[in-house]
Amino acid sequence: MRFLLPLLSLTALAQPNFQGGAAAAPGGKPIVAKIKILSHVAVPMRDGVKLYADVYLPSAPGKYPALIIRTPYGVQRDGMHEEAVPFAQNGFAVVVQDVRGRYESDGQWDPFREEGRDGHDTIEWAAKQAWSNGKVGTQGGSYLGHVQWGAISQQPKSLVTAVPRVASTSIYHNWAYFGGAFRLSFNYGWGVVRMPHRIMQPQYWHASATAPEELRYENILWNLPLSTIDLASSNTAVKHFRDWVNHTSYDAYWKAISDEEHFDKVNVPLYTQGGWFDIFLAGTINGYTGVRAKGSPAAKKAVKLWVGPWGHGPSQKFGEVDFGPTANRTHPEREIRWYNHYLKGEDNGIDREAPVEIFYMGANKWKHEQDWPIPGTNFKPLYLTSNGGANSLRGDGALSWDKSSAAKPDTYTYDPMNPVLSLGGNNCCGTPTLAGPYDQRPVERRADVLVYSGEILKAPVAIAGPVKMKLWASTDGPDTDWVVKLVDVYPNGYAMNVAEGILRARFRKSLSAPELLTPNQPYEFEVDMVGTANVFGVGHQIRVDITSSHFPQFDRNLNTGEGPDSAKVRIAKNTIFHSGDRPSAIILPVVPLP
C-alpha cells in the first residue's frame, strides 16, 4: 500500500541538503521541460525479489540517458522526490528506487549488504527500458552515495558514470567507526532511532521537548554497557546496530561491505563531493585517492574531487561561521554539466578542468588543484612544547617549528564519567551533538584538555591536504583514547576547529588487530585527522588541543580494555611527551597561498 510520509523536523538524517528550483544549463539559462512520473514500477532482482521505483521522465517521447537514485528513506517521503525533478527537467530519465526491504520494496532490510548486487541489477534493468538510450549514471548523497560505490564495484556494463556525494567508502573506517572509536551519537540516531525494523516508528521522538528525561536522546547515550544501549530507546534489540557495536575491529564482517577493497574495479568517470565538516569526509577523500591509485586508466584520468566548507551538504554558513556568498553551491547545476558531458556527449569543458576543487577556509575562496595531496606540498612538523603545564587555556603549552628540548611531559586525568563533551567537528544529521566550526574555548578551559598555541602569525600560513598527529604518549592502564583538534585562533580569541581525529590506543598498530598497552610505557601513536584547507591569517595563532574523549560523538573509552559488554569504568592518568627523543608534532600540509 502506498503512503505519503510527512516531513518531520529532523527527517534530514543522513540525507543530503538540497537546494530546490530549476537547474541551470552551463550558460546559466534554466532548462525547464515538462515531466511525467511513472509510479510504483517493479524492478526485478536476480534472486526474484522486486524493488519498486518511481521514474521521472521528460514528457516528450524519446529515449533518454538514465540516472539511478537508490534510497532507504522512501521514494515518496514528501509526495515528490525533489532530487529527481531538475534532472528530469534537463533531459534525463530518473529512477528513484526504495532499496531492498525499505518502504515499498520487497526483501529483508540489512543495511549495506545487498546494495552492490541490487544496484547492478537496477542499472542493467534501466538500460533496457523503452525510455532509455542505454546509458546509465548514478546520483545521490550519503547512503544514496554509498550505494553507488557498491554498484560500481560490480562493473555493470551499462554504467557510464557515478557521482557519490558525502558518502562513505568503508562502513567501518569512515561511517560506524573512526580510528577504532565508535561514532555513538550518529550510529544510535541512524541505526536505532531512524532506521529500525519498523519503518513507521516515529522519528526522533527522543529528541522532542515532550520526551521524558530518561528517554531523551542525549541522556540515553550515557547508558552502559554499550552493547545493550538500544534497549534504552524502545526496549527493542536492533540487530544491525548490535552487529556494529560488537564488531569493534576491521574484520570479515566489515571487509565484506568495504568499497575500499574494490577500488581496482572502478572503471568509469567518477565525481566525489563532500564537506570539510561532514561526517563522511574521509570517504569523500579516500574515494578520490583510491581511484587515482587503483582504478582503471580511464577512471584514474577522469575522477574528480570537490570539497566545500560544509557539513552534510552545501551551505554558506555552517556551525557558527559564515564562509561568504561564494561558499554555497547547488549540486544539480554542477552535476548536470557532468552528466551532460558523459551521458549526452556535450563538450562543455568539465572533463578538462583540474581534478581537484577545494574551498580554502580563512581566505574563503575556491581553488582548483592538480591532485590530492597537492603536488609540492611541504609536510611540515609543528612541535608541541611546554614546561609540563599545558593543561587548559591557562597553561603553558606552546607550538614551535623547531623540535622541542623540553623534557618535562604534560599529564592529565581522564574520567569516563566526566568526559569532554563534543563541540562541533565532523558530525551530522540531527544528532544531539553540534557539527561544524564552533568556538573551542568552552572545552579548552578544562584541565583535562591540553592546549598548545603557536606564536601570533606575522605572515599567513596556508595548509591543504591530509593532517596527522605524531604523538608520544602513555597511559597507566591497558587502553585509552587520544583526541586531537587543529584550531585556528583569531585575533579576538575565537578558537575555530578546522580538523580533528581520534585513535583508540589499542588500535595503534592496526585497525584489524587490536593490542592492549603496557601501563605507563611510552608509545608513538599516529592520529589521522583526515584533512582540511585553511589559511591561518596574520594575527592568528595555530593551536592543537589534546584530550581523551569526544562524547557523545564518539563512545567513551572506559580505560579497561574490555569489550562493549562491560560497564566497568576506571580513571586514567595520561601523559604526553615532547622531549628531544620523544618529539610530538602535528604534521601540517603547507602549500602556497591560494
Question: How far out from the chain centre does Cα 168 lie?
Answer: 6
CA distance 228 to 469: 33
- For 341-367, what is each residue's pLDDT tens digit? 999 999 999 999 999 999 999 999 999
- For 159-212, what is each residue's pLDDT tens digit? 999 999 999 999 999 999 999 999 999 999 898 887 765 444 444 455 556 778
Cβ atoms 427, 593 nearer than 8 A: no
- Phi and psi at residue 277, in whole multiples of 5°? -110, 15
Q: What local confidence, expressed as pLDDT, does residue 79 receive? A: 56
Query: Could you please report the per-residue DSSP string of 226-277?
Result: GGGTTHHHHS---HHHHHHHH--SS-HHHHTT-GGGGGGG--S-BEEEEETT
Q: What local confidence, expressed as pLDDT, does residue 209 receive? A: 62
Tell me, what amino acid is at 463?
I
Beta strands in 103-168 (DSSP E): 132-141, 159-165
Q: What local confidence, expressed as pLDDT, does residue 112 receive? A: 95
Across the chain, which distance is largest between two alpha carbons, in Å? Answer: 77
Give the mean pLDDT of 480-488: 98
DSSP 351: G
Q: What local confidence, expressed as pLDDT, does residue 233 receive? A: 81
Q: Are strands 64-71 and 132-141 parallel, antiparallel or unpaired?
A: parallel
- Phi and psi at residue 157, in whole multiples of 5°? -70, -25
CA distance 452 to 487: 10
Break the chain into its structural domains and give their ranges. 35-165+258-315+324-360, 175-249, 378-591
Name which residue leads in pLDDT, 78 or 381: 381
Which residues make beta-bridge pairs with 306?
Answer: 273, 357
Domain 378-591 listed as CATH 2.60.120.260: yes
- pLDDT exceeds cutoff 80 at 431: no
Q: Which three cell numbers stand for residue 594?
A: 591560494
Shortest CA distance to 138 belongs to which of 129, 124, 358, 128?
124
Give the mean pLDDT of 253-276: 97
CA distance 109 to 66: 25
Shortest CA distance to 344 belongs to which of 54, 39, 110, 90?
90
CA distance 304 to 39: 34
Cβ atoms 97, 105 nearer than 8 A: yes
- For 291-309, what is each residue's pLDDT tens digit? 999 999 999 999 999 999 9
Strand arrangement, sheet containing 365-369: 35-44, 50-58, 93-98, 64-71, 132-141, 159-165, 271-275, 304-308, 356-360, 365-369
Superfamily per CATH, domain 35-165+258-315+324-360:
Alpha/Beta hydrolase fold, catalytic domain (3.40.50.1820)
Q: pLDDT band for position 313 (50/70/90)?
A: confident
> Residue 29: is it exposed, middle or buried by C-beta count within 10 angstroms (0-12/13-18/19+)?
exposed
- For 88-143, what is each residue's pLDDT tens digit? 999 999 999 999 999 999 999 999 999 999 999 999 999 999 999 999 999 999 99
Q: Which three cell numbers stand for residue 422?
A: 563534543
Q: What local confidence, expressed as pLDDT, does residue 433 receive? A: 75
Q: Which residue has the cell 575491529?
A: 249
Shortest CA distance to 148 belongs to which of 115, 170, 174, 175?
115
Q: Are strands 64-71 and 50-58 parallel, antiparallel or unpaired?
A: unpaired
